[in-house]
Structure 1
Amino acid sequence: MAQRIITEMIDDIDGSTIIDGNGRAIAFSVDGRAYEIDLNGANADKFEAALSPYIAAARLVTTPRGATSSSKDAEQGDELTRIRRWAHRNGFTIPADGSINLEARIAYTAAH
Protein backbone atom coordinates (compact mmCIF):
# COMPACT_ATOMS: atom_id res chain seq x y z
CA MET A 1 0.00 0.00 0.00
CA ALA A 2 1.34 3.44 -0.94
CA GLN A 3 1.15 6.36 1.40
CA ARG A 4 1.47 10.06 0.82
CA ILE A 5 2.26 12.28 3.78
CA ILE A 6 1.57 15.96 3.26
CA THR A 7 2.92 18.57 5.63
CA GLU A 8 1.27 21.98 5.58
CA MET A 9 2.61 25.15 7.13
CA ILE A 10 -0.20 27.06 8.82
CA ASP A 11 -0.14 30.77 9.70
CA ASP A 12 -0.25 31.04 13.49
CA ILE A 13 -2.27 34.29 13.37
CA ASP A 14 -5.06 33.66 10.88
CA GLY A 15 -4.92 29.89 10.40
CA SER A 16 -4.43 30.10 6.63
CA THR A 17 -2.35 27.53 4.78
CA ILE A 18 1.00 28.90 3.68
CA ILE A 19 1.58 27.80 0.08
CA ASP A 20 4.36 28.10 -2.47
CA GLY A 21 6.90 29.35 0.05
CA ASN A 22 4.84 32.49 0.71
CA GLY A 23 5.62 32.51 4.40
CA ARG A 24 8.20 31.62 6.95
CA ALA A 25 8.99 30.81 10.53
CA ILE A 26 10.15 33.91 12.38
CA ALA A 27 12.26 33.51 15.51
CA PHE A 28 12.35 36.35 18.01
CA SER A 29 12.95 36.89 21.69
CA VAL A 30 11.49 39.16 24.33
CA ASP A 31 12.68 39.51 27.92
CA GLY A 32 15.12 36.64 27.53
CA ARG A 33 12.52 34.19 26.20
CA ALA A 34 12.79 32.84 22.67
CA TYR A 35 9.74 32.40 20.45
CA GLU A 36 9.00 31.24 16.92
CA ILE A 37 5.91 31.96 14.86
CA ASP A 38 4.86 30.76 11.40
CA LEU A 39 3.44 33.56 9.26
CA ASN A 40 2.27 33.98 5.69
CA GLY A 41 3.90 36.76 3.66
CA ALA A 42 1.34 39.42 4.54
CA ASN A 43 1.43 38.71 8.27
CA ALA A 44 5.25 38.49 8.23
CA ASP A 45 5.32 41.95 6.63
CA LYS A 46 2.94 43.30 9.31
CA PHE A 47 5.05 41.73 12.07
CA GLU A 48 8.26 43.26 10.70
CA ALA A 49 6.62 46.65 10.14
CA ALA A 50 5.37 46.68 13.73
CA LEU A 51 8.84 45.87 15.06
CA SER A 52 10.85 48.08 12.69
CA PRO A 53 11.03 51.18 14.94
CA TYR A 54 12.15 49.02 17.87
CA ILE A 55 14.73 47.15 15.79
CA ALA A 56 16.06 50.44 14.41
CA ALA A 57 16.58 51.78 17.94
CA ALA A 58 17.95 48.53 19.40
CA ARG A 59 21.51 47.28 19.55
CA LEU A 60 22.57 43.85 18.33
CA VAL A 61 23.42 41.35 21.05
CA THR A 62 26.00 38.74 20.20
CA THR A 63 27.09 35.59 21.99
CA PRO A 64 30.36 36.12 23.91
CA ARG A 65 33.39 34.13 22.76
CA GLY A 66 33.58 30.75 24.38
CA ALA A 67 29.87 30.61 25.06
CA THR A 68 28.01 27.70 23.56
CA SER A 69 24.99 28.23 21.38
CA SER A 70 22.15 25.96 20.45
CA SER A 71 21.68 24.46 17.00
CA LYS A 72 18.76 26.87 16.52
CA ASP A 73 21.17 29.78 17.11
CA ALA A 74 23.49 28.27 14.52
CA GLU A 75 20.62 27.94 12.04
CA GLN A 76 19.66 31.57 12.63
CA GLY A 77 23.27 32.58 12.10
CA ASP A 78 23.31 30.65 8.82
CA GLU A 79 20.13 32.44 7.74
CA LEU A 80 21.65 35.82 8.61
CA THR A 81 24.73 34.93 6.59
CA ARG A 82 22.53 34.04 3.60
CA ILE A 83 20.58 37.31 3.94
CA ARG A 84 23.80 39.32 4.30
CA ARG A 85 25.34 37.73 1.17
CA TRP A 86 22.14 38.20 -0.83
CA ALA A 87 21.87 41.83 0.30
CA HIS A 88 25.46 42.57 -0.81
CA ARG A 89 24.85 40.93 -4.21
CA ASN A 90 21.65 42.93 -4.66
CA GLY A 91 22.99 46.38 -3.85
CA PHE A 92 21.99 46.76 -0.21
CA THR A 93 24.46 48.44 2.12
CA ILE A 94 25.11 46.54 5.33
CA PRO A 95 26.35 48.75 8.21
CA ALA A 96 29.83 48.19 9.64
CA ASP A 97 28.36 46.57 12.76
CA GLY A 98 26.93 43.84 10.50
CA SER A 99 23.29 44.44 11.37
CA ILE A 100 20.85 43.84 8.55
CA ASN A 101 18.31 46.58 8.04
CA LEU A 102 14.62 45.80 7.75
CA GLU A 103 14.47 46.89 4.10
CA ALA A 104 17.08 44.27 3.14
CA ARG A 105 15.33 41.59 5.23
CA ILE A 106 11.97 42.29 3.60
CA ALA A 107 13.50 42.28 0.11
CA TYR A 108 15.27 38.97 0.85
CA THR A 109 12.02 37.43 2.07
CA ALA A 110 10.14 38.63 -1.00
CA ALA A 111 12.82 37.18 -3.28
CA HIS A 112 12.69 33.81 -1.56
Structure 2
Amino acid sequence: MAKQVRTIYIDDLTGDQSDDVKTVRFGVDGREYEIDLNAENHDKLTNLLNPYILAARRRGRSAPTARKAAASTSADSATVREWAKQQGFEVSERGRVPANVRASYEKAHAKKN
Protein backbone atom coordinates (compact mmCIF):
# COMPACT_ATOMS: atom_id res chain seq x y z
CA MET A 1 0.00 0.00 0.00
CA ALA A 2 1.35 3.43 -0.92
CA LYS A 3 0.94 6.48 1.22
CA GLN A 4 1.49 10.08 0.24
CA VAL A 5 1.85 12.73 2.92
CA ARG A 6 1.59 16.38 1.99
CA THR A 7 2.41 19.33 4.17
CA ILE A 8 0.49 22.42 3.27
CA TYR A 9 1.79 25.71 4.60
CA ILE A 10 -0.65 28.52 5.16
CA ASP A 11 0.29 32.18 5.47
CA ASP A 12 -0.37 33.10 9.10
CA LEU A 13 -1.45 36.64 8.19
CA THR A 14 -3.77 36.01 5.26
CA GLY A 15 -4.73 32.36 5.65
CA ASP A 16 -3.80 31.76 2.01
CA GLN A 17 -2.25 28.49 0.88
CA SER A 18 0.68 28.88 -1.45
CA ASP A 19 3.77 27.02 -2.65
CA ASP A 20 5.96 29.97 -1.65
CA VAL A 21 5.02 30.02 2.07
CA LYS A 22 8.11 29.78 4.29
CA THR A 23 8.71 29.89 8.02
CA VAL A 24 10.42 33.09 9.18
CA ARG A 25 12.12 33.23 12.59
CA PHE A 26 12.84 36.44 14.45
CA GLY A 27 13.37 37.73 17.96
CA VAL A 28 12.25 40.79 19.92
CA ASP A 29 12.95 41.65 23.56
CA GLY A 30 14.65 38.32 24.22
CA ARG A 31 11.77 36.25 22.86
CA GLU A 32 11.95 34.10 19.75
CA TYR A 33 9.07 33.95 17.27
CA GLU A 34 8.31 32.22 14.02
CA ILE A 35 5.61 32.89 11.47
CA ASP A 36 4.70 31.32 8.13
CA LEU A 37 4.59 33.92 5.37
CA ASN A 38 4.17 33.93 1.61
CA ALA A 39 6.72 35.80 -0.49
CA GLU A 40 4.75 39.05 -0.51
CA ASN A 41 4.31 39.17 3.26
CA HIS A 42 7.92 38.10 3.79
CA ASP A 43 9.03 41.06 1.70
CA LYS A 44 6.77 43.38 3.72
CA LEU A 45 8.25 42.14 7.00
CA THR A 46 11.81 42.42 5.68
CA ASN A 47 11.23 45.96 4.42
CA LEU A 48 9.66 46.96 7.73
CA LEU A 49 12.53 45.54 9.83
CA ASN A 50 15.40 46.43 7.49
CA PRO A 51 16.20 49.87 9.00
CA TYR A 52 16.35 48.30 12.48
CA ILE A 53 18.43 45.35 11.29
CA LEU A 54 20.94 47.66 9.60
CA ALA A 55 21.34 49.73 12.77
CA ALA A 56 21.49 46.73 15.15
CA ARG A 57 24.43 44.70 16.46
CA ARG A 58 24.52 40.95 15.85
CA ARG A 59 24.56 38.60 18.82
CA GLY A 60 25.84 35.09 19.26
CA ARG A 61 28.16 33.01 17.18
CA SER A 62 28.51 34.05 13.60
CA ALA A 63 29.54 30.67 12.19
CA PRO A 64 28.39 27.70 14.26
CA THR A 65 28.72 25.37 11.27
CA ALA A 66 32.42 26.22 10.91
CA ARG A 67 33.00 25.27 14.52
CA LYS A 68 31.18 21.96 14.08
CA ALA A 69 33.16 21.19 10.96
CA ALA A 70 36.45 21.87 12.71
CA ALA A 71 35.46 19.69 15.65
CA SER A 72 34.45 16.80 13.40
CA THR A 73 37.84 16.73 11.66
CA SER A 74 39.75 16.17 14.89
CA ALA A 75 39.91 12.82 16.65
CA ASP A 76 36.95 11.50 18.59
CA SER A 77 37.18 12.40 22.30
CA ALA A 78 36.64 8.78 23.40
CA THR A 79 39.53 7.66 21.19
CA VAL A 80 41.79 10.39 22.57
CA ARG A 81 40.83 9.51 26.17
CA GLU A 82 41.60 5.82 25.65
CA TRP A 83 44.99 6.64 24.08
CA ALA A 84 45.75 9.14 26.87
CA LYS A 85 45.07 6.56 29.59
CA GLN A 86 47.39 4.09 27.84
CA GLN A 87 50.08 6.78 27.78
CA GLY A 88 49.70 7.58 31.49
CA PHE A 89 47.77 10.85 31.20
CA GLU A 90 45.11 11.51 33.81
CA VAL A 91 41.88 12.32 31.98
CA SER A 92 38.29 12.50 33.20
CA GLU A 93 35.60 10.25 31.78
CA ARG A 94 33.48 13.21 30.74
CA GLY A 95 33.89 16.79 29.62
CA ARG A 96 36.44 18.41 27.35
CA VAL A 97 39.73 16.64 26.73
CA PRO A 98 42.55 18.99 27.85
CA ALA A 99 44.28 20.76 24.97
CA ASN A 100 47.73 19.42 25.93
CA VAL A 101 46.41 15.83 25.86
CA ARG A 102 44.75 16.31 22.46
CA ALA A 103 47.92 17.97 21.10
CA SER A 104 50.02 15.03 22.33
CA TYR A 105 47.61 12.59 20.69
CA GLU A 106 47.69 14.45 17.38
CA LYS A 107 51.50 14.75 17.49
CA ALA A 108 51.87 11.01 18.19
CA HIS A 109 49.54 10.06 15.38
CA ALA A 110 51.04 12.54 12.91
CA LYS A 111 54.33 10.66 13.15
CA LYS A 112 52.62 7.40 12.20
CA ASN A 113 51.03 8.82 9.06
- Higher RCO, Cα 8 Å, sep 6+: 1
- Cα distance in 2, alignment partners of residues 58 and 29 from structure 1: 12
- Please list every run of 5 or more consecutive structure 1 residues that lacks an aligned counterpart in the other structure: 64-73, 79-112
The alignment partner of 2:46 has SS state of: helix
Separation in structure 2 between the aligned mates of residue 36 and residue 9 of structure 1, nearest angstrom? 13
Deviation at 1:4, TM superposition (A): 3.1
TM-score, length-normalised on structure 2?
0.50
Equivalents in 2 of 1:12, 1:27: separation in Å?
Answer: 13
2:22 is aligned, of 21, 24, 27, to 24
Which structure 2 segments of 5+ residues have no match?
A: 67-113
Q: How does 1:1-112 map to 2 (within 5 A)?
A: 2-19=2-19, 22-63=20-61
* Counterpart for residue 108 of structure 1: none
Q: CA–CA distance in 2 between the matches of 1:51 and 1:15?
A: 22
Q: Between Structure 1 and Structure 2, which shows a larger proportion of strand residues? A: 1
Q: How does the TM-score come out when normalised to structure 1?
A: 0.51
Q: How many Å separate the matches in 1 of 2:8 and 2:21?
A: 11
Shift of 1:5: 2.5
Which whole-Å deviations, capped at 9, do the CAs of 1:5-50 have from their partners, x for residues lacking one? 321011010011121xx23111001111100011000000000000
Which one has a larger percent helix, Structure 1 or Structure 2? 2
Q: How high is the sequence identity, in percent, across the aligned residues?
A: 44
Aligned length: 65
Q: Deviations over 1:37-67 (max 9, x none)?
A: 110000000000000011011010114xxxx
For residue 2 of structure 1, report the CA deviation from its aligned partner. Answer: 4.5
Counterpart of 2:35, as a letter, is I
Residues 9, 36 of structure 2: 8 Å contact kept: yes
